[in-house]
Amino acid sequence: MARITVADNFLTVLNLFETETQDGQDRLLEEMRSIIDSANYEGWISSTLLGGVDQRGTANYIQWRSLEDLQQRYATETFRHETVPLFNELSTSIRLLKTEVVFTRQRSTVQEIEISPAGNEHTVIIVMGVDPDRQKEVVELFAQHDEWLETVPGYVSNSILRGIDGTDVVNFAQWESKETYDAFHSLPEEDRPNEVREVRARIRELLTARSANSYRVVHTRSAED
């Protein structure tokens, strides 16, 4: 089981795949699950597989001990000549984001942030493009104290990940259900606290791009298993 904390200091790789059909998503999940179940790589910590809900696709949340360990995996003949061609065949787009967790927040009743099929959370992954000289400010805005979230129905947690190349910030959020997230997402700005509106407006000014999808966790495995 994967746990999200800043203290672990893992390299977190988010592999985001898009596909046009449900059959394509099912095939991606099948192939990825097979790879996860046979994973035995130096420095690999865990892999958690998620299936798209709002849009067809998959996400793989992978924790590594270091960037060097990941690069060794990418350099293998199997990865270069079998894994990459297979995923290119099955997907319409692929994003491989190398990140680190820089901030986490959870509801007071949640002891730790876990990613597991057993939790049955509705997971939302928002990828935001930024200029490298503005990435730090975006992270700091997300990390501001926010008492209001504690009162929002269905909120479970959110984790902020910084792209190590400086051009991305990711919000990995967990909600009790799709309905509670959709209600939060569609809430009119005037119904949000003033300080929250100000932070949201400033973040929008700083972003160069934004994409999002929601997911359900379907499988997870860690090296300790």
Alpha-carbon span 98 to 71, nearest angstrom: 11
pLDDT in tens, 4-20: 999 999 999 999 999 99
Q: Are residue 105 and residue 81 in the same domain, yes or no? A: no
User: Which residue, 186, 206, 188, is CA-closest to 197?
Assistant: 188
Buried b (16+ CB within 10 A) or exposed e, 186-197: eeeeeebeeeee
State how many domains the chain has: 2
**Boundary (domain end) residue, out of 51, 78, 99:** 99
pLDDT in tens, 122-134: 999 999 999 999 9
pLDDT (average), residues 86-100: 93
User: Which residue, 30, 19, 12, is CA-closest to 160?
Assistant: 12
* Residue 213 and residue 127 in contact, taking contact as beta carbons nearer than 8 Å: no
204 within a domain of the structure (yes/no): yes
Q: Are residue 93 and residue 157 in the same domain, yes or no? A: no
- Say whether pLDDT at 194 is over 80: yes
pTM of the model: 0.95
Q: What is the pLDDT of residue 78?
A: 86
- Banded model confidence at residue 1, pLDDT cuts 50, 70, 90: confident
Q: Are residue 177 and residue 123 in the same domain, yes or no? A: yes
User: Domain limits at 202?
Assistant: 100-214
Q: What is the pLDDT of residue 79?
A: 86
Q: What is the pLDDT of residue 76?
A: 87
Q: Are residue 95 and residue 106 in the same domain, yes or no? A: no
Alpha-carbon span 77 to 83, nearest angstrom: 9
User: Which residue, 100, 120, 118, 108, is CA-closest to 174?
Assistant: 120
91 within a domain of the structure (yes/no): yes
pLDDT in tens, 19-51: 999 999 999 999 999 999 998 899 999 999 999
**Boundary (domain end) residue, out of 67, 99, 131:** 99
125 within a domain of the structure (yes/no): yes
224 within a domain of the structure (yes/no): no
Q: Are residue 127 and residue 80 in the same domain, yes or no? A: no
79 within a domain of the structure (yes/no): yes
147 within a domain of the structure (yes/no): yes
85 within a domain of the structure (yes/no): yes
Q: Are residue 210 and residue 107 in the same domain, yes or no? A: yes
- Say whether pLDDT at 153 is over 90: yes
Q: Are residue 92 and residue 153 in the same domain, yes or no? A: no
- Say whether pLDDT at 181 is over 90: yes
Q: What is the pLDDT of residue 84?
A: 87
DSSP states along the chain: -EEE-STT--EEEEEEEE-SSHHHHHHHHHHHHHHHHT---TTEEEEEEEEESSSSEEEEEEEES-HHHHHHHHTSHHIIIIIHHHHHHH-SEEEEEEEEEEEEEE-TT--SEEE-TTT--EEEEEEEEE-GGGHHHHHHHHTS--SGGGGSTTEEEEEEEEETTSSEEEEEEEES-HHHHHHHHTS-GGGS-HHHHHHHHHHHHHEEEEEEEEEEEEEEEETT-
pLDDT in tens, 155-166: 999 999 999 999
1 within a domain of the structure (yes/no): no
Q: Are residue 164 and residue 137 in the same domain, yes or no? A: yes
Q: What is the pLDDT of residue 91?
A: 93
Q: What is the pLDDT of residue 86?
A: 87
Q: What is the CATH number of the domain that holds 127?
A: 3.30.70.100
**Boundary (domain end) residue, out of 61, 81, 99:** 99
Q: Are residue 67 and residue 144 in the same domain, yes or no? A: no
- Say whether pLDDT at 225 is over 80: no
